[in-house]
Amino acid sequence: MSETKILESKALIRFPDCDPFNHLNNSRYLDYFINAREDHIWENYQFNIYQYAKEHGKSWVVGQNQIIYLRPAMLMETVVIQSTILELRERDLLVEMAMWNKNKTQLKSLLWSTFVHFNFATQKSEAHDQKLIDFFKPFENPLPQNASFEERVQQLKVKA
């Protein structure tokens, strides 16, 4: 298992996901991000969230999203989607997902998503157990300084 902290994959922007201007519809960015993150978890961590849910009666639910749309993703464009765990906290994870053009020179969108560890039986959030903390801790990729979402957007725009 690799300990890569910034995971990435490519996606092709498809026709049914676009608006009449051939831009990726705003609501579909979330789908592309979440699908990429699911693939990243499986391919890089060999962690099956569905098997975990079935065996433990727990999983992660989205508690909060913060997203910015900077440049449109266009019909039939190949984009690069990156994801990383910014913070592994007691009851949740803060994950950053970025969508770039295929050369990673233009940031199209940035998402910070809080995934809450959730117990299906109690219908409440639940602390990560030590086994999960030990598993995910090597993949945590905190920002060098405690930046706000807006500051992070500026950092990535300068980097591009």
Question: Which helix (DSSP H) or strand (DSSP E) does residue 79 occupy?
Answer: strand 78-88
* pLDDT exceeds cutoff 90 at 94: yes
User: Given a cut of 70, is residue 160 above it in pLDDT?
Assistant: no
Quick one: tokens of 97? 């997902």
How confident is the model over 20-56, as pLDDT tens digits? 999 999 999 999 999 999 999 999 999 999 999 999 9
pLDDT single digits (tens) 108-150: 999 999 999 999 999 999 999 999 999 999 999 999 888 999 9
What's this model's pTM, rounded to 2 decimal places? 0.93
What is the distance between the alpha carbons of residues 115 and 92, in angstroms, rounded to a whole number?
5
Distance CA 85, CA 95 (A): 4
Please name the CATH architecture into which domain 7-159 falls: Roll (3.10)
